[in-house]
């Protein structure tokens, strides 16, 4: 997949461009279905499949501090879009000047003249342009004049347990509630956080005999505090483990940490980047009377995680 992060780098229109546009936060199964439709349409007309997104997220520019945490930062979003088979990702630097572009100019100057749009595939509620003045009606009103096709994608549901439309907002709520399995059904994959392994307080190995990797989070959206069965992606290998998110109430220091114990793992990974996939929430954090009680509970959590992960193919 070719990534274009500046519109000036597009020197000529793409061949028979088929495009979809959005923030695609989470790159959930609804987004994936949209990308699949774009790829199929592009294949049918011997064209180029294109996804256009924005960085930073428009909410960061337009609403400053009044915005929710992102499900996927740009790095992961680009990786996931590439997996869908899209030919080109156009990441538009989002500014207030860009936000002031009229709907007509957005279509005529950017999508048609610069991108070479032959077809656009979007959801029913798609809006664009200054003050969101653009919508499906506007897109369709220029279609014959400017020579492109408008295709409206159907909303995707995650199954009988999720009768409502899949949305980034709903996924965000589920992750923040610790409901990582329902979130997985909407994402089409386990929710993942990324970060660097940093020096911690050395309590796991020194006091409890259970070494843990402390994570300096890269992601904004962190699951609810508690204990989770996880897998960890490190150097393109998956390791099973158990993660703790929270404030270590037994030690009364109120410092928020994310730490993970990897099963059958002894390598030094300080300074390394790892990815943690959340499989299932085991329990809430709890304050124990002493270290012995805490150690016993952690060993029970490890046993529980082993059982949960036994059927998980690494």
Among 152, 173, 199, the domain boundary falls at: 152
Q: Is 220 a catalytic residue?
A: no
Taking residue 248's Cβ as centre, other Cβ atoms within 10 Å add up to: 18
**Three-state secondary-structure class, residue 300:** helix
Residue in 274, 271, 243, 270 with CA at minimum distance from that of residue 257:
243
Q: Residue 274 forms beta bridges with which residues?
A: 195
List the chain pLDDT tens, one digit each, 314 residues: 999 999 999 999 999 999 999 999 999 999 999 999 999 999 999 999 999 999 999 988 888 777 889 999 999 999 999 999 999 999 999 999 999 999 999 999 999 999 999 999 999 889 998 888 999 999 999 999 999 999 999 877 666 555 567 899 999 999 999 999 999 999 999 999 999 999 866 555 445 568 889 999 999 999 999 999 999 999 999 999 999 999 877 766 678 899 999 998 888 889 999 999 999 999 999 888 788 888 899 999 999 999 999 987 54
Bridge-based pairing of strands 273-283 and 191-198 is antiparallel
Distance, in Å, from the CA atom of 245 to the CA atom of 277, rounded to the nearest integer, reads 13
State whether 142 and 201 are in the same domain: no
Answer whether residue 99 is part of any domain: yes
Enclosing domain of residue 128: 14-152
Which domain-ending residue is among 125, 152, 179? 152
CATH of the domain at 228: 2.40.30.30
Chain centroid to Cα 78, Å, comes to: 9
3-state helix, strand, coil in the chain (%, to 5): 35, 25, 40
Helix-helix angle 168-176:180-187, to 10 degrees: 160
Return the ∠ at Cα 47 (arms to 46 and 50), rounded to 5°. 150
- Residue 163 in domain: no
Which of the residues 8, 75, 220, 259 is marked catalytic? 259
Q: How many domains does the chain have?
A: 2
Co-location of 130 and 240 in the same domain = no
Smallest CA-to-CA distance from 213 within 222, 224, 202 is with: 202
Q: What's the pTM? A: 0.91
Residues 128 and 246 in one domain: no
Distance between CA atoms of 155 and 3, rounded to whole angstroms?
27
Residues in Cβ contact with 24 at an 8 Å cutoff, skipping those fewer than 6 apart: 31, 51, 53, 77, 81
Cis peptide before 262 (omega within 30 of 0): no
The residues, ordered by sequence, that sit 6+ positions from 115 with a Cβ below 8 Å of its Cβ are 10, 13, 14, 17, 19, 50, 52, 90
Is 286 found in the same domain as 225? yes
Give the DSSP per-residue string, 210-243. ---EEEEE--S--PPSEEEEEEEEETTEEEEEEE
CATH of the domain at 75: 3.40.50.620
- Within this chain, do residues 108 and 230 fall inside the same structural domain, yes or no? no
């Amino acid at each position: 997949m070719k990534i274009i992060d500046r519109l000036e780098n597009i020197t000529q229109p793409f061949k028979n461009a088929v495009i979809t546009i959005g923030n695609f936060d989470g790159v959930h199964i609804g987004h994936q279905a949209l990308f699949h439709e774009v790829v199929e349409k592009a294949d049918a007309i011997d064209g180029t499949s294109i996804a256009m997104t924005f960085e930073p997220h428009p909410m960061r520019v337009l609403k400053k501090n009044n915005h929710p945490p992102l499900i996927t930062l740009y790095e992961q979003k680009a990786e996931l879009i590439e997996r869908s088979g899209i030919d080109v990702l156009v990441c538009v630097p989002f500014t207030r000047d860009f936000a002031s572009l009229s709907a007509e100019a957005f279509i005529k100057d950017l999508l048609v003249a610069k991108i070479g749009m032959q077809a656009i595939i979007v959801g029913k509620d798609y809006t664009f342009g200054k003050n969101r003045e653009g919508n499906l009606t506007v897109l369709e009103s220029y279609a014959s004049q400017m020579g492109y096709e408008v295709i409206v994608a159907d909303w995707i549901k995650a199954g009988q347990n999720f009768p409502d439309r899949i949305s980034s907002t709903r996924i965000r709520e589920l992750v923040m509630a610790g409901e990582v399995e329902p979130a997985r059904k909407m994402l089409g994959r386990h929710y993942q956080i990324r970060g660097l392994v940093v020096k911690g307080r050395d309590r796991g190995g020194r006091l409890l005999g259970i070494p843990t990797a402390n994570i300096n989070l890269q992601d904004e959206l962190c699951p609810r505090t508690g204990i989770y069965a996880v897998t960890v992606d490190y150097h393109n290998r998956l390791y099973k483990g158990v993660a703790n998110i929270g404030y270590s109430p037994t030690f009364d220091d109120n410092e928020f940490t994310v730490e993970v114990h990897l099963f059958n793992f002894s390598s030094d990974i300080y300074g390394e980047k790892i990815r943690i996939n959340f499989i299932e929430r085991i329990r809430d954090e709890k304050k124990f009377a002493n270290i012995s009680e805490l150690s016993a509970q952690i060993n029970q959590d490890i046993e529980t995680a082993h059982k949960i992960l036994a059927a998980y193919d690494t």
